[in-house]
Amino acid sequence: MSENLNPFAIAQAQLDEAAAILQLDPDMHAFLREPMREFHFSIPVRMDDDSTKTFRGYRVQYNDARGPAKGGIRFHPDETIDTIRALAAWMTWKASVLDIPLGGGKGGIICNPRELSRGELERLSRGYMRAMARYVGGTQDVPAPDVNTNPQIMAWMLDEYELIVGHREPGVITGKPIELGGSQGRGPATALGGLITIRETAKLKGMDLKGMTCAIQGYGNVGSNAHQLAHDMFGLNVVAISDEFGGIYNVNGLDPAQTLPYSRRNGSLKGFPGSDVISNSDLLELDVDILIPAAIENQLTSANADRIKAKIIAELANGPTTPDADNILNAKGCYIIPDFLCNAGGVTVSYFEMVQNSYQFYWDEVLVQQRLDQKMTLAFHAVHNMAQAKNVDNRVAAYLVAVDRVAQAVRLRGWV
């Protein structure tokens, strides 16, 4: 039978496994298997040629027992409600495993932002916020950037919200430009959080990261920052990187000081001088010490897991590994740092942004990084200790920590 690659079915299967180990009450399990609220709406946008195009928008507030829902908004032509449900579930577990007082949410619009003018993109972003304004806010649900959305889009959404409610409320959205109440250090936060979990893994295993080889799939916000930080913090030898157009490889390492401006200038890594071409699938199978998937879901599946050679997989992307691949990789002794732990740096600094907005007093980047390091390190060891105590893999352990905390909040509220 072929593998089920529906991300929400995967998220539910992962929860089911944790629920069985936790011996979760069946009513609680049923409640946590489904989103609490979903919004499906149309966004009519006046296009530059004066026609009106209607886009489909979604927001899922998966669970807000521990605090306001929190999660990004994606603009993608292949967006599906099940992907958003899965991502909203993972946000719930992510906020919980980091022990920050937030729930989980996610949103999206089916669109191809590359086909929109700047004016159309602004009207679409404002339209999304008009549709959701009554249901978001610093105490309800706080959106943020995700794939194909950025600080400028957050700024338009913030402005639209504040026009509607008639007052300033910067904490309604995170990932804002610094000038509008964004936090120092938000840009590289997801990658930095992931690198901190790699550092802790290396300590546990007694490994010296300097000169170890690494491959990174995806060269957007997360992948490109991971490259820079892997190089600067640990002297990792990053031999391969890629984007949606393919990858580049150099056994002697790729210098981010060269590849980052090249990728920015050319819109892709293609043709980078002094490198060999490598496909995205071959990059995943390279004989490297550390593999960092930082692009999209379902990259490590039953079709390629037995050919993966990396000893550590740091999942900066959401949902890069299917359950079947998980089983194969764990059996091979691969150490997986699961997505909702590894990539939690972004939501953690988003939470710091909300805190700074609420008391209108801003921290410098060093303080942000110190507090992020503290949170990530604590969460990493909570998961590692759970894995040891219950003799389970890291992903199951992360679920055990996270689901138990959410279930306690649900129980204390008397919902189930």
Nearest to residue 256, comparing CAs of 221, 292, 225?
Answer: 225
- Touching ligand NAD, residues 229-268 (CB under 6 A): 242-244
3-state secondary structure of 81: helix
Which of 174, 197, 213, 217 binds ligand NAD (CB under 6 A)? It is: 217
Residue 269: both structure tokens together: 């890594």
* Pair of tokens at residue 136: 């978001």
Options 288, 294, 337, 376; binder of ligand NAD; rule CB under 6 A: 294
Binding span for ligand NAD by CB under 6 A among 19-27, 251-259, 289-297, 363-371: 289-297
Instruction: Tell which one of 12, 63, 343, 356 touches ligand NAD (CB under 6 A).
Output: 343
Nearer CB in complex with ligand NAD: 28/105: 105
394 neighbors 338 (Cβ within 8 angstroms): yes
Tell me how far apart the alpha carbons of residues 326 and 91 are, in angstroms, rounded to a whole number: 20
Q: How far is the CB of 217 from ligand NAD (least distance, A)?
A: 5
Is 147 one of the binding residues for ligand NAD (CB under 6 A)?
yes
Closest to 289 measured CA to CA, from 220, 216, 232, 344? 216
Tell whether residue 280 is a contact of ligand NAD (CB under 6 A).
yes
Q: Is 346 in the site for ligand NAD (CB under 6 A)?
A: yes
What residue ranges in 47-153 does DSSP mark as E strands?
A: 52-63, 69-76, 104-110, 141-145
Nearest approach in angstroms of CB 368 to ligand NAD is 14
Q: How far is the CB of 414 from ligand NAD (least distance, A)?
A: 32
| Contact indicator for 203, 390 with CB cutoff of 8 Å | no
Catalytic residue, from 106, 205, 210, 390: name it: 106
Q: CB 415 → ligand NAD: shortest distance, Å? A: 28
Whole-angstrom Cα distance, residue 206 to residue 23? 35
At 112, which amino acid appears? N
Strands 312-314 and 104-110, sheet pairing: unpaired
Q: Is 106 a catalytic residue?
A: yes
With binding defined as CB under 6 A, does residue 95 bind ligand NAD? no
Q: CB of residue 172 vs ligand NAD: minimum separation in angstroms?
A: 18
Least spacing, CB of residue 405 vs ligand NAD, in Å: 20
Q: Is residue 141 within the footprint of ligand NAD (CB under 6 A)?
A: no
Pick from 36, 69, 316, 382 the residue near ligand NAD by CB under 6 A.
316
Using only C-alpha atoms, what is the Rg of the chain? 21
Residue 193 to residue 9: CA distance in whole angstroms: 27
- The one-letter amino acid at 244: E
Q: Should residue 295 be labelled a site residue for ligand NAD when binding is judged by CB under 6 A?
A: yes
Binding mask 151-190 for ligand NAD (x = CB under 6 A): ---------------------------------------x
Neighbours of 364 (CB within 10 A): 9
Sequence-ordered list of residues with C-beta below 8 angstroms from that of 281, at least 6 positions apart, any chain: 304
Query: By C-beta, is 217 or 228 nearer to ligand NAD?
Result: 217
- Dihedral of CA 300/85/399/25: which sign? negative
Residues that bind ligand NAD (CB under 6 A): 146-148, 190, 217-223, 242-244, 280, 294-296, 316-318, 343, 346
Q: Please list the active-site residues.
A: 106
